[in-house]
């Protein structure tokens, strides 16, 4: 039966493929594709894990019987028997193996994929006793997952084709459907074969959506209950423009979307011709188009899109999903140098670590509710760094050393207080002193502040006094100005880049920066939204930083714009009660 689910549109285009459901589990499960030659080893891991759990249960049975001298509670023994039966169930075993052999899932993923299928079968049973057996399957799978966790196999990088896309080992395209994916999970899927993805939760500027956008595949977030209704292998259409997901489409609907998909591909090919065209408005204003990246390898996409530098390297992705084992100075230094070299002499703006909020260091923390009740207002970004000065110093030393290899700009997120500025500057000086004491080679940097807290936007002169440049983080500036959690789909309709208060702050920051001759950039998602390009130009913005996939469409918009005329128009938009109504004037 065909049905439709609505959510928030994250990235453009249409994807059509078979659904791969990724379930959240109480155990932290890594999901990745194995190489075909790893299949036997993966099945062996599965068998070993099952063997360990079987032995564990048999041992428990023995202990219970010995302790109770023949009068063991029959319910407990019956439960252990059920668990043993499930573990020895041929059909379950075969089905899990199939996920490994045919889809090349790692063992943990194969187990949870099959658990999902079985759980739904149990849910549909009429007999309440049988329905409750679902919990037993979950417990058995969870035990196996825990054993597998202690015996992890190395994640092999995917085999890439000439375009840098992962090579799939099966015929149909796949789309990912999940209740939630952490930014760290998303990063793991970045170089994978998925044609699109859908999550139940999240807003347009949640970090999961941001990483998805950087993958340049159609995506819908905040689709509420999609992962409950879509089944493994269902055919799914993801319309990333409209925020719509069509499940089990009829042939007529499939045809319609296939046409739309091809039109999108042609549009991309057309835009690709603009790569080497300088971004200059029709009245001769030069505009800087920079790339937002999450890892050093993204430099390839940045150059391919014609970016003239990196405007935001979100370094926290180097720190996430590592079970708290942070990269040391050497590892960080190598990553920053790789990025600088990857950008071939162009400037690279590296942001100091911004963990916390919807980017927990450890993905388990986010799921167990260990985090702050309102993490966006908690110990995040520079606040976290200043509370962990030893860690911050490691990053600052690595950045200074990387600066010896090229143009490195360092950007500090979420500053609001003069005391935070002073502490940051003091730690930066200490990092230099430490490098001097070691006789280490390091370079000079330009230092920038992110303006993403209203308090900072209202005290720009303080920032201009201490920093070489400013970068406006509109994702957070909007979140904090409007008191809207950017990751919460239930208030997503109130997340409004065009709210007069937001526009007023933006206009003032840009104007004050320009008046002092200091570069001001926007690096939030607003910079990559073609619907906002004219307005940002009109507000005086001359530097935009966005995902590489958005650069050419924004450039096209710039080439068609007259910045001076837009300046006059932007003034009326700023004064309006409902700026959105004037956007297309
Ligand atoms: C922003 O807040 O706009 C920004 C660019 O930073 P992040 O999205 O990583 O919080
Ligand atoms: Mg931010």
pLDDT tens digits along 398-445? 999 999 999 999 999 999 999 999 999 999 999 999 999 999 999 999
Confidence of residue 370 (pLDDT cuts 50, 70, 90): very low
Percentage of residues in the chain having pLDDT higher than 70: 91
Residue 367 binned pLDDT confidence (cut-offs 50, 70, 90): very low
Q: pLDDT tier at 68 (50, 70, 90 boundaries)?
A: low
Q: Which of 5-14, 446-455, 516-525 has the lowest mean pLDDT?
A: 5-14
Q: Is the pLDDT of residue 369 over 50?
A: no
In whole angstroms, give the CA distance from residue 523 to residue 205. 12
CB hemisphere CA count around 553 (13 angstroms): 18
DSSP letters spanning 287-302: -EEEEEESSGGGHHHH
3-25+155-252 in CATH: which number? 3.50.30.10
Residue 264 has pLDDT above 60, yes or no: yes
| Closest ligand 1 atom, residue 452 Cα | 2
DSSP one-letter code for 353? P
- Distance of alpha carbon 565 from alpha carbon 283, whole angstroms: 9
pLDDT value of position 151: 59
In sequence order, the β-bridge partners of residue 350 are 313, 410
Burial of 305 (0-12, 13-18, 19+ CB in 10 A): buried
The dihedral formed by the CA atoms of 128, 133, 135 and 136, expressed in degrees to the nearest 10: 160
Question: What's the CA gap between 146 and 278, in Å, rounded?
Answer: 54
- pLDDT one-digit tens code per residue, 32-61: 888 889 999 999 999 999 999 999 888 888
Return the best residue to mutate from 449, 523, 528 for the ligand 1 pocket (most ligand atoms within 8 A of CB): 523
Higher pLDDT, 309 or 59: 309
What pLDDT does 159 receive? 56
The domain made up of 36-148 is a member of CATH 1.10.274.10: yes
Would you say 319 and 391 are in contact if contact means Cβ atoms under 8 Å apart? no
**Ligand number nearest to the C-alpha of 208:** 1
Nearest residue to 316 (alpha-carbon basis) of 347, 348, 357: 357
Nearest to 58 by CA among 83, 92, 75: 83
Q: Give, as one character, the DSSP assignment of residue 373.
A: S
Q: Report the separation in Å between the CA atom of 131 and the middle of ligand 1, taken as the mean of its atom positions.
A: 45
Q: Please list the residue range(s) of the chain that carry CATH number 3.20.20.60.
A: 282-582
- Whether the per-residue pLDDT at 27 is higher than 80: the answer is no
- Under the banding of pLDDT at 50, 70 and 90, the label for residue 153 is low
Tell me the three state secondary structure of residue 544.
Answer: strand
Q: CA 133 to CA 114: how far, in whole Å?
A: 15
pLDDT at 60: 80
Calculate mean pLDDT across residues 513-517: 97
Sequence ranges of the chain with CATH classification 1.10.274.10: 36-148
Which residue minimizes the CA distance to atom 8 of ligand 1? 475
Annotate 228-248 with b (16+ C-beta within 10 A) or e (fewer). eebbbebbbbbbbeebbbbbb
Dist. CA 168 → ligand 1 center (Å): 32
Q: Can you give the pLDDT at residue 125?
A: 87
* Ramachandran area for residue 157 (φ above 0: left; ψ -120 to 50: alpha; else beta): beta
Which one of 450, 473, 474, 543 would you pick to mutate in the ligand 1 pocket, going by the greatest count of ligand atoms within 8 A of its CB?
A: 473
| Contact status, residue 561 vs residue 281, Cβ threshold 8 Å | yes
Give the whole-number percent of the chain exceeding pLDDT 90: 61
Structure confidence by residue, pLDDT tens digits, 80-122:
888 889 899 898 899 999 999 998 888 998 998 888 888 888 8
474 C-beta closer than 6 A to ligand 1: yes
Grouping H, G, I as helix, E, B as strand and the rest as coil, residue 559 is helix
The larger pLDDT score, comparing residue 35 to residue 386, is at 386
314 Cβ closer than 6 Å to some ligand 1 atom: yes
Give the closest residue to 479 by CA, choosing from 187, 210, 225: 210
Catalytic (active-site) positions: 207, 523
pTM reported for the whole predicted model: 0.82
Provide the residues around ligand 2 (an ion) whose CB is within 5 A.
452, 473, 476
Strand pairing partners for 449?
412, 470
For residues 246 and 38, the answer to whether their CB atoms sit within 8 Å is: no
Closest CA to 29 of 115, 132, 102: 115
User: Is the beta carbon of 475 within 6 A of some atom in ligand 1?
Assistant: yes
Q: Does ligand 1 lie within 6 Å of residue 476's CB atom?
A: yes
Give the integer Cα–Cα distance in Å for 5 and 222. 10
Q: What is the dihedral of CA 239, 243, 247, 250, to 10 degrees?
A: -50
* pLDDT for 528 beyond 90: yes
Considering every ligand atom shown, identify the ligand nearest to the alpha carbon of residue 415 and give its number. Answer: 2
288 compared with 11, residue with greater pLDDT: 288
Is the separation of the CB atoms in 15 and 218 below 8 Å? Answer: yes
- Cα separation, 108 vs 96, in Å, equals 10
- Domain(s) of CATH 3.50.30.10: residues in the chain: 3-25+155-252
Q: What is the pLDDT of residue 72?
A: 63
Chain center to CA of 9: 15
- 368 pLDDT tier (thresholds 50, 70, 90): very low
Q: Are 71 and 85 in contact (CB under 8 A)?
A: no
**What's the average model confidence in pLDDT over 254-273?**
93
* Mean pLDDT (the chain, rounded): 89
Query: Which residues, 6 or more positions from 77, have their beta carbon under 8 angstroms from its beta carbon?
Result: 61, 64, 65
Cβ-contact 329, 397 below 8 angstroms: yes
pLDDT of residue 208: 77
302 by Cβ neighbours in 10 Å (0-12 / 13-18 / 19+) ranks as buried
Residue 136's pLDDT is what? Answer: 83
The fold of the 282-582 domain, in CATH, is TIM Barrel (3.20.20)
Residue 513 has pLDDT above 70, yes or no: yes
Answer yes or no: are the C-beta atoms of 311 and 471 closer than 8 Å. yes
């Amino acid at each position: 039966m065909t049905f439709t689910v609505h959510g928030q549109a994250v990235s453009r285009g249409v994807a059509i493929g078979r659904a791969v459901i990724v379930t959240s589990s109480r155990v932290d499960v890594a999901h990745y594709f194995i190489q075909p030659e790893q299949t036997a080893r993966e099945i062996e891991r599965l068998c070993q894990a099952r063997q360990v759990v079987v032995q564990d249960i048999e041992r428990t049975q023995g202990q219970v019987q010995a302790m109770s001298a023949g009068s063991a509670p029959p319910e407990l023994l019956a439960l252990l028997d059920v668990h043993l039966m499930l573990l020895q169930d041929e059909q379950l075993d075969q089905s899990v193996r199939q996920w490994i052999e045919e889809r090349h899932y790692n063992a943990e993923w194969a187990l949870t994929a099959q658990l999902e299928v079985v759980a739904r079968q149990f849910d549909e049973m009429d007999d309440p006793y049988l329905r409750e057996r679902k919990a037993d399957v979950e417990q058995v799978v969870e035990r196996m997952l825990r054993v597998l966790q202690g015996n992890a196999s190395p994640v092999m990088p995917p085999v890439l084709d000439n375009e840098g896309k992962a090579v799939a080992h099966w015929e149909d395209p796949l789309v990912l459907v999940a209740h939630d994916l952490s930014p760290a999970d998303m990063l793991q899927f970045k170089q994978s074969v998925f044609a699109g993805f859908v999550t139940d939760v999240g807003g347009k500027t949640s970090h999961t959506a941001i990483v998805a956008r950087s993958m340049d595949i159609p995506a819908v977030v905040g689709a509420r209950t999609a992962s409950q209704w879509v089944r493994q292998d269902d055919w799914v259409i993801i319309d990333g423009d409209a925020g719509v997901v069509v499940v089990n489409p009829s042939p007529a609907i499939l045809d319609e979307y296939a046409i739309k998909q091809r039109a999108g591909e042609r549009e991309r090919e057309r835009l690709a011709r603009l790569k080497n065209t300088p971004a200059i408005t029709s009245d001769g204003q030069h505009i800087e188009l920079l790339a937002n990246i999450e890892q050093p390898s993204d430099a390839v996409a940045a150059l391919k899109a014609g970016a003239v530098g990196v405007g935001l390297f979100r370094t926290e992705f180097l720190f996430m999903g590592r079970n708290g084992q942070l990269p040391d100075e050497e590892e960080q230094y190598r990553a920053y140098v790789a990025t600088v070299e990857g950008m071939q002499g162009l400037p690279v703006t590296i942001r100091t670590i911004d963990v916390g909020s919807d980017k927990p260091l450890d993905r388990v923390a986010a799921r167990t509710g260990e985090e702050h009740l309102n993490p966006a207002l908690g110990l995040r970004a520079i606040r976290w760094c200043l509370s962990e000065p030893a860690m911050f110093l490691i990053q600052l030393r690595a950045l200074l050393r990387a600066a010896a290899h090229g143009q490195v700009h360092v950007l500090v997120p979420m500053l609001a207080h003069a005391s935070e500025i002073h502490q940051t500057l003091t730690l930066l000086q200490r990092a230099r002193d430490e490098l001097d004491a070691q006789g280490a080679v390091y370079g000079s940097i330009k230092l920038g502040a992110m303006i993403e807290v209203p308090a900072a936007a209202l005290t720009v002169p303080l920032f201009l006094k201490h920093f070489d440049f400013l970068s406006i983080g509109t994702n957070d500036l909007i979140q904090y100005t409007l008191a809207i959690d950017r990751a919460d789909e239930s208030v997503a309709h109130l997340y409004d880049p065009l709210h007069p208060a937001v526009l007023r702050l933006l206009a003032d920051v840009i104007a004050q920066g320009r008046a002092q001759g200091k570069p001001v950039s926007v690096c939030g998602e607003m910079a990559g939204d073609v619907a906002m390009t004219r307005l940002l130009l009109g507000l005086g913005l001359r530097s935009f930083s966005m995902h590489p996939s958005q650069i050419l469409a924004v450039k096209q918009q710039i080439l068609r714009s007259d910045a001076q005329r837009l300046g006059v128009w932007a003034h009326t938009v700023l004064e309006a009660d409902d700026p959105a109504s004037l956007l297309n004037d």
